[in-house]
Structure 1
């Protein structure tokens, strides 16, 4: 065994993983979201998005006349995350509310609240939000607005997550491929 060759191979594997991690974080920083890319896992947004579509999110602040707000408009498709759910939800904004900031406390920022619904669902998402919650707070719940997507490219991710046995085989195969260049 050549230890030097093995160490170089290990360093190459580590650099691939750290490079992917840094690219993900850089993309998140540019898009101002912790999750700049997500995969559609249900049919609630059909026909706009199909299961397996990869969505690219953007959450940069936009200027609004006198205020600096993150603005989502009615009709925008947003991805939101809730405390009681592990997986983010992709739905369309059907109503938007703004509550002005308190001028006495010198807080001139208003807050935006959203009501969402899946295009393929019959009712709005209030039942998903959690007990006593009727709207989404854009500053706390919204991960980003969908800017563009790639159809069906994320289906491999869904398939791997839905088949735990294959998941182990897939990861073992990746490790073996990296070891035997």
Structure 2
């Protein structure tokens, strides 16, 4: 009976190690895909979730945007994602005014949400004393979107209990199937 017990114990250890290695490969693959997207698109964040309705009716809360960033001049009418000093969450709005300086790499832009009545400067969205956005504020330009797919992220952020229930259900499923 000792050899059978040792064999079963060895099998359980191998099975656990196999699952840990598989999980590590999944996480590593996801990170490699993300880093690859960063290289291909030129964006630090090639995919973002829209968190508000400021761009409705075209882009809605819960949509996922795909971004790119290149050296082409930014033009009025483009949708950009940008950071503002003092805010931790990027903003998705449309460029309404562009002022190019010495060359097309230097510019000042003004943005506005399609669903907002005033531009972002008048609406107080920019940092105090800031009148324009510059290249360093821009994260990327929207090149496509998937409607409503980002709601999963929004729900898990707004209601953390959903995240824990989902993780618990996945853990339970794991133990039931093995």
TM over 0.5: yes
TM-score (norm 2): 0.86
Number of residues paired by the alignment? 165
Distance 1:40 1:136, change over 3 A: same
User: Using a 3 Å threshold, how does the CA distance of structure 1 residues 51 and 23 change in structure 2: closer, same or farther?
Assistant: same
> Which structure has more strand as a fraction of its residues?
1
Cα displacement (A) at 1:83:
2.6
Q: Give the secondary structure class of the aligned counterpart of 2:44.
A: coil
Whose Rg is larger?
A: 2
Distance 1:175-1:86 versus aligned 2 partners, 3 A rule: farther
Gap regions ≥5 residues in structure 2: 1-8
What do you get for the CA RMSD once the two structures are aligned?
A: 1.7
SS at match of 1:136: coil
Match of 1:124 in 2: 119
User: Residues 174 and 112 from structure 1, CA distance in 2 versus in 1: closer, same or farther, beyond 3 angstroms?
Assistant: farther
Which secondary structure does the structure 1 equivalent of 2:61 belong to?
coil
Q: Which runs of 5+ in 1 are unaligned?
A: 63-70, 102-108
Distance 1:162 1:5, change over 3 A: same
Structure 1 residue runs of 4 or more that deviate by more than 6 Å after TM superposition = none
Q: TM-score, normalised by structure 1?
A: 0.85
Pairing 1:91-110 to 2, within 5 Å after superposition: 91-100=93-102, 110=105
The structure with more helix, counted as a fraction of residues: 2
Whether 1:13 and 2:43 are equivalent positions in the alignment is: no
